[in-house]
Structure 1
Amino acid sequence: MVDRDAVEAAARRIEGHVRRTPSVEVAPGLWFKLELLQHSGSFKARGAFNRILAAREDGELPAAGVVAASGGNAGLAVAFAAARLGIPAEVFVPEVAPAVKVRKLRQLGAVVHQHGREYAEAYAASTIRVAETGALFVHAYDQPEIVAGQGTLALELPEVDTVLVATGGGGLVGGVAAAVGDRARVVAVEPAGAPTLHAALAAGRPVDVVVDSVAADSLGARRVGTIALESAVRHGVRSVLVDDEAIVQARKRLWAEHRIVVELGAAAAYAGLGRLDDAGRVAVVLCGANTDPSDIADEAPAETVQDLSQGV
């Protein structure tokens, strides 16, 4: 179980290694947590540093370094943390991982392996490599140190009633719920084409889902993590689904109205704003920006932020 004490311990451990990212009030009662400004371009650096530093503290960091499997962001975070800490890193990504993420991984010095069409296949290949080398495995979302590390961003939020979190494997929403779930309502926003937590809450356990979403490069896990599900159940996390068109339009709105460029996975959280009633003061976690901005048309989006903010 990951609780607030574990999140606070993670915050102390990673202090000085990660950025305290700003929260900006963009409309009365509506805050953006700008975690896209984090090292490596996403919140994942928090969990990666916590996992590796905890292993080093315990004398469990092997000479072979670390291995990770990722749709892109977790791998970037592991590669960044490994480079900063002076240890080797190998990262397994799907063949469909965005070229911008693969290029950054190599620039950070990681050995990159591309396997399969989705995260689950890259993950399977990475476990074989761990068995071969004895390296420390850094999971993308389902290890206690990872979940606690990701939750540290919630300790930096202003006092709000609701926190919107884009959700794939669930490391972030599990950590946020552990950190502030007893003080604010935490809402998991998931692509309708990759409803991992939604399906798990309905089934009472993690189950495989079909992944078919424009946000699959960062929200493309086939099933939610067991730690995230436990945290979500314990803190009453609600799941809402948004379709691909809503995600694409939310990304365009963030650029058109706020000049913020995010990846599609991060835009999902903003797309969920229109699904809330009586949300009070809201924080939207904009969790990553590892994207090619050239496809964001500088045009009026289909909806305005006022449309989304009804009921906030």
Structure 2
Amino acid sequence: MALHLETPLLESRPLSQASGRAIWLKMDALQPPGSFKIRGIGAACEHHARSGKRRFISSSGGNAGIAVAYAGRRLSIPVSVFVPETTTERAKSLIRQEGAEVFVHGTSWQEANERALEAVDVETAFIHPFDDPILWTGHATIIDEVVKAAVPFDAVVLSVGGGGLLSGVAEGLARNGLQDIPLIAAETEGAASLAASVKAGRRVELPAITSIATSLGARKVCQRAFDITQTLPVDCVVVDDRAAVNACTRFLDDHRVVVEPACGAALAVAYAHADRLARFERILIVVCGGATASLAQLQAWQAS
């Protein structure tokens, strides 16, 4: 049995009214570890378990680590997650709550990732947080479920960090014959590595992540995500941190679910940048979730 759940698909009256368009929400914030990550990471962990691996190692700023830890607990395989110093105490506690070890190393995900790779041996599987074809195939099930529900849509709005979700959604569209449907890729200022790459015509690396949406904190997107922007209809939208946080608080009022600013970036497209949706009629928003933001943290960000 898959480690992820088939999540609800909801028509959002509040978001539809805010944007003047019919908005449907794929509620992956309701996955057991709190985000869409378990779809692909669960598939990868099951694959490596079948191959006889006896330990999982991952690197993460939060949600991917929580997903690996959850998968390891369900599969009875020990997990070690390497996180940077910027990772919140809440994220570390959620990883430990699933029974995994947490190692803190470096000031960025890149440094934590390098240390994680050094710890891999022949009995260990390294679970990348976003750059792995097995992950993309797992994330593609989001689109499979929407198609199975027979809900038509003419655009998909999603948040982009390292590009794993974008790569998975594009694969899901392609395998359902929907590859011509435009993707609206939302990022926050200070974490917009995809938008910077599209503008430059090549993958570029940000000097640092300065957004509070640290879950979007890959300084360079994966090659697959960039390639998708060169061959498929992808529209990059960059919102500021305040718009992302405001979207989270409005979404909490509207749908009674707490999500991170990384997810708020996608919601902000409908709440605050509806002009970017004007040419569409029925829009699917992937509510990717995120377990590391609390109500108190959202309120603190709003007050700052």
Which band: TM-score by shorter chain?
Answer: 0.7 to 0.9
Q: Relative to structure 1, is the Cα distance of residues 297 and 104 closer, same or farther in structure 2, using a 3 angstrom cutoff?
A: closer
Aligned to 1:30: 23
Deviation at 1:283, TM superposition (A): 1.4
Aligned to 1:46: 39
The 8 Å contact of residues 198 and 239 in structure 1, kept in 2 or not, is answered as: yes
In the alignment, is residue 173 of structure 1 matched against residue 166 of structure 2?
yes
The 8 Å contact of residues 241 and 261 in structure 2, kept in 1 or not, is answered as: no
The 8 Å contact of residues 94 and 121 in structure 1, kept in 2 or not, is answered as: yes
Aligned to 2:58: 68
AA matched with 1:286 = V
Secondary structure of residue in 2 paired with 1:39: coil
Aligned equivalents of 2:53, 2:159: Cα separation in 1: 33
Aligned to 1:92: 82
In the alignment, is residue 164 of structure 1 matched against residue 157 of structure 2?
yes
The 8 Å contact of residues 174 and 232 in structure 1, kept in 2 or not, is answered as: no
Please report the RMSD computed on the Cα atoms of aligned residues, expressed in angstroms: 1.9
Deviation at 1:278, TM superposition (A): 1.5
In the alignment, is residue 288 of structure 1 matched against residue 281 of structure 2?
no
Aligned equivalents of 2:103, 2:298: Cα separation in 1: 29
Secondary structure of residue in 2 paired with 1:41: coil
In the alignment, is residue 102 of structure 1 matched against residue 99 of structure 2?
no
The 8 Å contact of residues 180 and 232 in structure 2, kept in 1 or not, is answered as: no
Deviation at 1:106, TM superposition (A): 0.8
Aligned equivalents of 2:103, 2:163: Cα separation in 1: 24
Secondary structure of residue in 1 paired with 2:190: coil
1:150-186 CA deviation, whole Å, 9 max, x = no partner? 2211222232111110101000011101211515211
Of 264, 268, 271, which aligns to 1:267? Answer: 264
In the alignment, is residue 235 of structure 1 matched against residue 225 of structure 2?
no
The 8 Å contact of residues 144 and 227 in structure 1, kept in 2 or not, is answered as: no
Aligned equivalents of 2:202, 2:298: Cα separation in 1: 37
AA matched with 1:25 = E
Secondary structure of residue in 1 paired with 2:102: strand
Aligned equivalents of 2:299, 2:48: Cα separation in 1: 44
Aligned to 1:20: 6
1:222-250 CA deviation, whole Å, 9 max, x = no partner? 10011222233332222111111111111
Deviation at 1:134, TM superposition (A): 4.8
Aligned to 2:108: 118
In the alignment, is residue 224 of structure 1 matched against residue 227 of structure 2?
no
1:233-275 CA deviation, whole Å, 9 max, x = no partner? 3322221111111111111111233322111111111112223
The 8 Å contact of residues 40 and 76 in structure 1, kept in 2 or not, is answered as: yes
Secondary structure of residue in 1 paired with 2:129: coil
Give the percent of matched residue pairs that are identical in Structure 1 and Structure 2. Answer: 36
Aligned equivalents of 2:205, 2:69: Cα separation in 1: 28
Gaps spanning 5+ residues in structure 1: where?
1-14, 302-312
Aligned equivalents of 2:169, 2:230: Cα separation in 1: 13
Aligned equivalents of 1:293, 1:44: Cα separation in 2: 21
Of 211, 230, 233, which aligns to 1:213? Answer: 211
Aligned equivalents of 2:253, 2:102: Cα separation in 1: 35
With the length of structure 1 as denominator, give the TM-score of the two structures.
0.84
Aligned to 1:9: none
AA matched with 1:281 = R
1:105-131 CA deviation, whole Å, 9 max, x = no partner? 111111101112221121111111115
Of 117, 137, 144, which aligns to 1:155? Answer: 144
Aligned to 2:19: none
The 8 Å contact of residues 180 and 233 in structure 2, kept in 1 or not, is answered as: no
Secondary structure of residue in 1 paired with 2:191: coil
AA matched with 2:282 = R
Aligned length: 280
Secondary structure of residue in 2 paired with 1:90: strand
Secondary structure of residue in 1 paired with 2:119: helix
AA matched with 2:294 = D
Deviation at 1:297, TM superposition (A): 4.5
The 8 Å contact of residues 161 and 217 in structure 2, kept in 1 or not, is answered as: yes
1:282-311 CA deviation, whole Å, 9 max, x = no partner? 11111113121124459xx9xxxxxxxxxx
Aligned equivalents of 1:129, 1:17: Cα separation in 2: 25
